[in-house]
Structure 1
Amino acid sequence: MRTGLALCAVLFTTAGAPVAPPLPARLADTGGGSQLITAVAPDTRSTTGTVTWWERRDGRWHRAGSAPARFGAKGLADGARREQGTDTTPTGLYELPYAFGTRPAPPGTRTPYRRVNRDSWWCQDNRSRVYNRWSEPLAADCRARESEHLEEYGRQYAHALVVGFNYERPVRGRGAGIFLHVNGRGATAGCVSVPAAAMARILAWADPAATPHIAIGTRSGATAITRY
């Protein structure tokens, strides 16, 4: 399959000038579905970039929307080697297990959606059995000081998608609580964020039947998004 894509790596306009194919067509993997979100930063030191959501129709990828994005305060790091507490956004290709928010789901949302309440926490305690999981109420073995009380982030978590980084089989110390969420006041602690209107549009667009994934990376280099 990759050979076929390689043969189509360059397209041409009617004037004969080469045109790069859509970004998803240049990725090593898109998750196997017909929806994809790409989050691209200029380089690993960047705290800003672009989020674009794509859908595959008639055998080709089409851009469905785009928005400015924010990344970790310390930039981005390869997801396979990222360390917890570094304020870096992990690069890689990830599933989007479910959505959540302090506000009701936007109209049209089809992704499973959990409403945040005062007992909603995200456990980031490496010693807990529920590490990198929603915990409601907070598990007895999960220290509050090592976790996020989701209700306290009413602005950022008005609407959010869980990014499946270190999620299926969590590696202690790799990191927990990586989301695609609404912008706060500046760079994130490792998540990807977009304006509130864009987040609502993404949730109304995402269709679990289309197996949406998110690919996070840089324009080039060892963490180039095309690697994932």
Structure 2
Amino acid sequence: MRRLLVTASVLLALAGSLAARPAGPPPLPERLADTGGGTQLITAQAPRADSTTGTLTWWDRRGGGWVAAGSAPARFGANGLTEGATRVQGTNTTPTGLYDLPYAFGIEAAAPGTRHPYRRVGEGSWWCQDNLSRSYNRWVEPRPADCRPEEAEHLVGYSTQYARALVIGFNYHRPVRGRGAGIFLHVDGKGATAGCVSVPAAAMNRVLRWADPARRPHIAIGTASGRTAITRY
């Protein structure tokens, strides 16, 4: 009997200890101001605004909560991150904010299981970044005369980075001239990006297999705290 009483006392003490232990923070998506209204979300978080590395995590909404489906190391702009609403083109900064993912593209064929609309890159594929062009911040094929080649990316020339990618809807639906063009989630190159978010090739393939346009995935980009905190978006 004494042994049973001692055992019961130990169990009660453990239960009390566990109950007193503070709960951990809720999953990151639950701390964001907005997640885009869908049931899939990508978060790209850097420690500080001047960081060039951080973490990309992709999430599913299940049973009223968010569950991480995968994560990978991420790279950001060579000059860090900046508020997307006031970003200036050519600054090599990654725009913070919440954006949709209009479509995927790549030099290679779509990864098996890809459900996003997927455009295959060819010799005539360009992304126009010319502020004077009617095609500003758009895929063009062929390149129109009003989009100067020195103000556009010849997509096929980035065989590593654009092997497979997702378009990030920054400044895309209603482009503001001078704010920036051609912001993608793509495969890592040799170092920091010119403003995109990049991940290892294996992670890019996993994201493309995971992303389901019917579930309205978005990407939230930001920092752990401060004016560009990811929780603001």
Q: Same fold (TM over 0.5)?
A: yes
Deviations 1:199-227 (CA, angstroms, capped at 9, x unpaired)? 00000000001000000000000000000
Taking every aligned residue pair, what percent have the same amino acid on both sides? 73
CA deviation digits over 1:157-179, x for unaligned, max 9? 00100000000000000000000
- Match of 2:129? 124
Correspondence for 1:174 among 173, 179, 200:
179
Does residue 40 of the first structure (1) align with residue 42 of the second (2)? no
1:78 aligns to 2:78 (yes or no): no
Question: Counterparts in 2 of 1:71-150, with a 5 A limit?
Answer: 71-150=76-155
Secondary structure of 2:85's match? Answer: coil
Q: Show the counterpart of 2:165.
A: 160
Distance 1:14 1:121 in 2: 58
Partner of 1:25: 30
Task: State the shift of 1:140 in Å.
Answer: 1.3
Question: Shift of residue 15 of structure 1?
Answer: 5.2
SS in 1 for 2:29: helix
Cα shift at 1:86? 0.1
Instruction: Give secondary structure in 2 for the equivalent of 1:51.
Output: strand
Bigger radius of gyration, 1 or 2? 2
Q: CA deviation at 1:184?
A: 0.1
The residue that corresponds to 1:3 in the other structure is none
Give the equivalent residue in structure 1 for 2:9: none
Alpha-carbon distance in 1 for matches of 2:97, 2:19: 35
Structure 1 unmatched ranges of 5 or more:
1-12
Q: Partners in 1 of 2:19 and 2:165 — Cα distance?
A: 41
Secondary structure of 1:151's match?
helix
Q: Determine the C-alpha separation between the residues in 2 that align with 1:18 and 1:213.
A: 28
Per-residue deviation, residues 47-72 of structure 1 (Å, max 9, x unmatched): 00000000001111000000000000
Please, which of 54, 58, 61 is the counterpart of residue 56 of structure 1?
61
Give the helix-richer structure, 1 or 2.
Answer: 2
TM-score normalised per structure 2:
0.92
Aligned residue in 2 for 1:194: 199
Partner of 1:67 in structure 2? 72
The alpha-carbon distance between structure 1 residues 87 and 17, as it changes in their structure 2 partners (threshold 3 A), is same
Q: Partners in 2 of 1:102 and 1:168 — Cα distance?
A: 24
Q: Pick from 202, 205, 224 the counterpart of residue 219 of structure 1.
A: 224
Distance 1:160 1:131 in 2: 19
SS at match of 1:19: coil
2-structure distance, mates of 1:14, 1:111: 44
Q: CA deviation at 1:14?
A: 4.9
What's the CA shift for 1:139?
1.1
TM-score, normalising length from structure 1? Answer: 0.94
